[in-house]
Chains A and B, each alone.
Chain A
Amino acid sequence: AQSVAQPEDQVNVAEGNPLTVKCTYSVSGNPYLFWYVQYPNRGLQFLLKYITGDNLVKGSYGFEAEFNKSQTSFHLKKPSALVSDSALYFCAVTEGGGSYIPTFGRGTSLIVHP
């Protein structure tokens, strides 16, 4: 069975500071990992994903995430936060060769203060 955990319901950061949104996962085989963002009154929007290769994945809007197999983590990062980054962030996982249906985390609300 596959699962994903986002340990923080909310992350607060000042504009211009680096941000990290945490995600850990559990799968039996090789993980495929995703980050999605949801702005108010909108659907989820794809940010980036890790399938294979370089552990550091770069995505939209300056976001990146680092796959860490030993720590089973896939934390989302950005060097300098913007107020417009304030949104709900979801981590998701599927398993290579397994179900194509992703399991989503509970979501983390990112609030960037001016």
Chain B
Amino acid sequence: ETGVTQTPRHLVMGMTNKKSLKCEQHLGHNAMYWYKQSAKKPLELMFVYNFKEQTENNSVPSRFSPECPNSSHLFLHLHTLQPEDSALYLCASSQEGQGGETQYFGPGTRLLVL
């Protein structure tokens, strides 16, 4: 449970605010992920970092900006969000290899955009 931590756990922001979500993994993994989980929608992969390099960006709007300063930390910077961006944002990590690696998830940040 404490292998991947996320802060804050809950966030309420206005559409003109700027905020950041933080994720930290204590598992020695080299890959980190941001997912968006909205009610009644599939889990959406947003960004993937492997050895601090961004390897995936699934057509995410520019109002979401990821940052990975090292292999243990991942940030998601938020600015001028829309109400439809309200969701649970999940961070995950894994050890990239030949496939078959388990992902370890944080508890998520519940975001509400007013």
State the A residues within 8 Å of B (CB).
Answer: 32, 34, 36, 41-46, 49, 51, 90, 92, 94-102, 104-107
The one of A42, A95, A98, A102 in contact with B103, judged by C-beta atoms closer than 8 angstroms, is: A102
Chain A residues closer than 8 Å to B45, beta-carbon distance: 101
Query: By the criterion of a CB under 8 Å from any partner CB, how many residues of chain B are at the interface?
Result: 26
Q: Which residue of B lies closest to A51 (CB)?
A: B100
- Check B21 for interface membership: any CB of A closer than 8 A: no
Count A-B pairs with CB separation below 8 Å: 60
Chain B residue numbers with a CB within 8 Å of A94 are 99-100
| A44 vs B103: C-alpha distance when bound (angstroms) | 9
**Would you call B61 an interface residue if the criterion is a C-beta within 8 Å of the partner chain's C-beta atoms?**
no
Interface string of B1-20 (1 = CB under 8 A from A): 00010100000000000000
Report chain B residues within 8 Å CB of A107. 42-43
Indicate if B98 sits at the interface (CB-CB under 8 A): yes
Residues from chain B with a CB closer than 8 A to the CB of A96 are 98-100
B 1-51 contacts with A by CB, 8 A: 4, 6, 31, 33, 42-43, 45, 48
CA distance A45 to B6 in the complex (A): 15
Q: What residues of chain B have their CB less than 8 Å away from a CB belonging to chain A?
A: 4, 6, 31, 33, 42-43, 45, 48, 56, 90, 92, 94, 96-108, 110
CB <8 Å contact, A98 and B99: yes
User: Across chains A and B, which 4 residue pairs bring their CB atoms closest together, nearest first?
Assistant: A43-B105, A32-B100, A44-B105, A94-B99
CB-based contact A90/B98 at 8 Å: no
Contact B99 A100 (CB under 8 A): yes
Q: Which of A49, A104, A106 contacts B102 (CB 8 A)?
A: A49
A104→B42 contact, CB < 8 A: yes
A–B Cβ pairs within 8 angstroms, 6 of them: A36-B103, A36-B105, A45-B105, A100-B94, A105-B42, A107-B43
Q: Which residues of A contact B106 (CB under 8 A)?
A: 43
A77 CB to closest chain B CB (Å) equals: 20
Nearest-neighbour CB distance to chain B for A9, whole angstroms, equals 9
A105 to B71, CA, bound (A): 27
Question: Given A42-B107, A43-B108, A104-B43, A95 and B99 touching (CB < 8 A)?
Answer: yes
